[in-house]
Amino acid sequence: MEKTLEKSMDETFRVPGVAGVLCADEHGLCLSSKGIAQKEAAGQLASLARQAQQLHPTNPSPVIAIEAEGGTILIKSESEVTMAVYKAPIS
């Protein structure tokens, strides 16, 4: 699984506009991070994903978008892994 995870993260990180990628397990522990994604945020990101699933139980895997002047963070949980993609602001 580790090699598959790293490969997926590398592919995502190479997409134009992506500034960081983070993966956390179901307990909020950071599995891997690249770029500007901070390992310390893994728990909060996983918690947000769990809360979104509870708010929208008919959609078991919602995508959360946090937008700010500094860019956008897209968060999604799939199975036991939460992934966050940090996108740079469009200039």
- For the chain, the maximum distance between any two Cα atoms, rounded to a whole number of angstroms, is 36
* pLDDT of res. 90: 76
The pair of structure tokens assigned to 51 is 């809360």
* pLDDT of res. 20: 97
* pLDDT of res. 1: 60
Residues contacting 74, CB < 8 A, separation 6+: 63, 64, 65, 84, 85, 87
Distance CA 24, CA 48 (A): 12
- Least Cα distance to 31 among 55, 10, 5, 11 occurs for 5
pLDDT string in tens for the chain (91-residue length) = 678 888 989 999 999 999 999 999 999 999 999 999 999 999 999 999 999 988 888 887 899 999 999 999 999 998 889 999 999 987 6
Instruction: For the domain covering 1-87, report its CATH number.
Output: 3.30.450.30
